[in-house]
Structure 1
Amino acid sequence: MATRMSAAARREQTIKAALAEFGRRGYEGTSTAAIAERVGVSQPYLFRLFPSKHALFLAAAEHCFDVLAEEMRDAAGGLHGKDATRAMGRRYLELLRSDHALLQFQLQLYASALDDEAVRELSRAKWAGLWRLITSLAGGDAEEAVRFVSVGMLLNVLTTFDIPFEPGDRLPASLHAWSQEETR
């Protein structure tokens, strides 16, 4: 006899499915029917879990930030300063390479925040928490945190455009070499 999934577990599963669907198609292009189908539930059940498509998008946004914070905390594993930011950077690169849904959703989230105050407010609050975490793990060094976040955003662009690069200290030279070889 199959066991039924709890509402909390189904909610978590729905948030993950929503993150993937919204990441691929954006807020406007994603239907709740597609999310419900991916999860294997009816639309009415989906709306018992989340009162609206917008509420589900906000839950996916919160989940995205929570995943990033958890991964950064885990990657640092007690390290601080440059050692922590190097470990977090390696983990972020692993995430980008292994979970395109997370990157796709981040890109959609940035675009949605431009026009949606609720998305912008939630993202600002979650970003502040992520910033505090990164700065703390960087040993309180705000400049190191800026460098870390800046490189992370660059990695988003490089991954999105499938630009080959070598991570870490070799990143500038590998990008320079790539740009010299790239012809159009």
Structure 2
Amino acid sequence: MVRMSAEERRESVVRAAMSEFARGGYFGTSTEAIAKRVGVSQPYLFRLFPGKKAIFLAASAHCMDLTRRTFEEASEGLEGEEVLHSMANAYVKLIAEHPELLLMQMQMYVAVAAAEEAGDPEFGEAVRAGWMRLWDTVHVPLGGQVDGTANFMAYGMLINCLVSMGFPPEHRVWEGLYPSARTTGRLEK
């Protein structure tokens, strides 16, 4: 059996935490559940991360980085409408293949609201910084136009909400939201 390095174990904790937090949220997920999913003890988990908040913020950063990299890869070498459609289709494919990514995004927004209400700005600062990196990743390939970027991100958030609410891919609410839906009537994987 090959032993993982501390960094590899840390990465496995972040992936497991993203899945657990996606389902249970920050307040509904225990560090015990994360440790169990990874196959480590809680004391070992806390050698890798100073606490639950640090694990959540690392999982949040991972979630946003995956989304950002998806947009970067989808927009590479393209211009105009091609960029828009490529990034939109790449995002739909990403969330269809990795629903925990979408749910983690939604949990991040809930955690920020709850933390800020409780007087803890750290969640908000970290999540907003990640979101702004995402905005910037989309903004440049879309031609640096604020309206185009805002429109793209707004449609993305609408997709997040519809998927989170469980609207099936063939439901009429999806019509016109992304190119693949117009031609196939379903989310493409």
TM bucket (normalised to shorter chain) is 0.7 to 0.9
Distance in 2 between the 1:88 and 1:101 partners?
19
Distance in 2 between the 1:17 and 1:64 partners?
12
Does the aligned pair in 2 maintain the 1:97–1:159 contact within 8 Å? no
The C-alpha deviation readout for 1:131-161, integer Å capped at 9, x for no partner, is 1111001121221111111111111122122
Distance in 2 between the 1:83 and 1:57 partners?
35
TM-score of the two chains, using structure 2 as the length reference:
0.85
Q: How many percent of aligned residue pairs carry the same amino acid?
A: 42
| Alignment pair present for 1:120 and 2:130 | no
Distance in 1 between the 2:138 and 2:69 partners?
11
Does the aligned pair in 2 maintain the 1:32–1:53 contact within 8 Å? yes
Distance in 2 between the 1:46 and 1:121 partners?
24
- Determine which of 178, 182, 185 is the counterpart of 1:168: 178
Residue in 2 aligned with 1:40? Answer: 39
| Alignment pair present for 1:155 and 2:165 | no
| Alignment pair present for 1:15 and 2:18 | no
The C-alpha deviation readout for 1:82-133, integer Å capped at 9, x for no partner, is 2112111001111121111111111110011113211100111111111111
Does the aligned pair in 2 maintain the 1:24–1:101 contact within 8 Å? yes
Distance in 1 between the 2:58 and 2:75 partners?
26
Higher helix share goes to which structure? Answer: 1
Q: CA RMSD in A?
A: 1.9
Distance 1:55 1:82, change over 3 A: same
Distance in 2 between the 1:82 and 1:70 partners?
19
> Residue 135 of structure 1 aligns to which amino acid in structure 2?
H
The C-alpha deviation readout for 1:62-81, integer Å capped at 9, x for no partner, is 11111111111011122133
Equivalent residues, number: 173
Between 31-40 and 113-122, report the one with greater CA deviation.
113-122
- How far is the alpha carbon of 1:169 from its aligned partner? 5.3
Residue in 2 aligned with 1:57? Answer: 56
Distance 1:170 1:83, change over 3 A: closer
| Alignment pair present for 1:133 and 2:143 | no
Residue in 1 aligned with 2:150? Answer: 146
Distance 1:171 1:146, change over 3 A: farther
Q: Runs of at least 4 residues of structure 1 off by over 4 A?
A: 169-172
Distance 1:25 1:113, change over 3 A: same
Structure 2 residues without counterparts, runs of 5 or longer: 116-120, 183-189
Residue in 2 aligned with 1:74? Answer: 73
Does the aligned pair in 1 maintain the 2:95–2:101 contact within 8 Å? yes
> Residue 149 of structure 1 aligns to which amino acid in structure 2?
M
